[in-house]
């Protein structure tokens, strides 16, 4: 064990410190774990979703019933815009569009991958990693017909309530930023120091604190989208955070 003065210095540098054994034969002495800065643990996220679906049947049950008229989704296997059929399970996206190229990313009912902003690309990838095929994104799934468009905008509550989960982009200022943890943008790295047979490493700030400071949180409609969603998966520059009526989890 180092002198108290040295330990105090590390605490000032790193913030909250977790204590793990570096020895493979000794069990860890703390509950902390390293977070991959590039790719989130989507197996863990799937476990959160599965647990919620099986155990929170009263508070987190997704609304059932027919989709709204001419309800459209992105087929993440083909990148085509398809009309939903009854009880088709899907993931929704809540994000900040911001300033982005006006180049059309939709041609003949299919998304043009090279024209899609990174957040949309990442959302498609994550939807498949979570075991789902269909994704709802307002910009591409709300029909252009004025009457249908007006009707669907008025029924946004139904869209988010019916989603199996909502991906929330609580990082960056626009849609070009992407969803950290999808494998395209590095997240913040935990700092660590080894002390003999043990390793001290910093943990991140509470996820809710980071979310409150995000550009996403400053938009009134995104806050409403989160409140309407049964299961929320937040993507920040530090880690992925899951929230539902029954539990809160982070990497």
Write down the pTM of the prediction.
Answer: 0.83
Rounded Cα gap, residues 237 and 49, in angstroms: 21
Q: How many helices (H) and strands (E) does the chain have?
A: 8, 13
Closest to 157 measured CA to CA, from 53, 57, 63: 63
Show the beta-strand stretches assigned E in the chain.
17-21, 72-75, 80-83, 90-94, 106-107, 110-111, 134-136, 165-169, 192-195, 198-202, 232-235, 240-243, 248-250
Tokens describing residue 136: 């709802």
Task: At 153, give phi and psi (nearest 5°).
Answer: -65, -35
Q: Which residues contact 48 (CB under 8 A, 6 or more apart)?
A: 242, 247, 249
Q: What is the pLDDT along the chain (251 residues), one digit of tens a residue?
A: 233 334 333 333 333 444 444 444 444 444 567 789 999 999 999 999 999 999 998 889 887 665 688 899 999 999 999 999 878 899 999 999 887 665 678 888 899 999 999 999 999 999 999 999 999 999 999 988 888 888 888 888 899 999 999 999 999 999 999 999 999 999 998 887 888 887 777 778 888 888 888 989 888 788 789 889 999 999 999 999 999 999 999 98
Contact 223, 201 (CB under 8 A): no
């Amino acid at each position: 064990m180092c002198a108290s003065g040295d330990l105090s210095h590390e605490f000032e540098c790193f913030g909250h410190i977790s204590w793990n054994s570096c020895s493979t034969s000794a069990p860890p002495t703390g509950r902390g774990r390293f977070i991959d800065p590039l790719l989130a643990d989507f197996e863990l996220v799937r476990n959160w979703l599965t647990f919620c679906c099986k155990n929170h049947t009263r508070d987190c049950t997704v609304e059932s019933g027919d989709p709204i008229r001419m309800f459209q989704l992105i087929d993440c296997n083909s990148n085509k815009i398809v009309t939903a059929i009854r009880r088709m399970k899907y993931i929704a996206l809540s994000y900040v569009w911001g300033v982005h190229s006006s180049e059309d990313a939709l041609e003949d009912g299919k998304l043009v991958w090279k024209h899609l902003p990174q957040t949309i690309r990442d959302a498609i990838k994550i939807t498949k990693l979570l075991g789902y095929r269909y994704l709802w994104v307002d910009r591409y799934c709300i029909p252009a017909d004025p009457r249908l468009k007006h009707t669907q905008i008025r029924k946004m509550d139904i869209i988010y309530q019916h989603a199996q989960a909502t991906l929330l982009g609580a990082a960056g200022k626009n849609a070009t930023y992407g969803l950290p943890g999808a494998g395209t943008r590095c997240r913040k790295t935990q700092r660590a120091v080894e002390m003999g047979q043990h390793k001290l490493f910093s943990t991140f700030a509470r996820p809710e604190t980071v979310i409150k400071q995000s550009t996403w949180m400053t938009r009134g409609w995104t806050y409403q989208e989160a409140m309407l969603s049964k299961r929320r998966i937040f993507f920040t520059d530090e880690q992925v955070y899951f929230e539902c009526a029954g539990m809160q989890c982070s990497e």
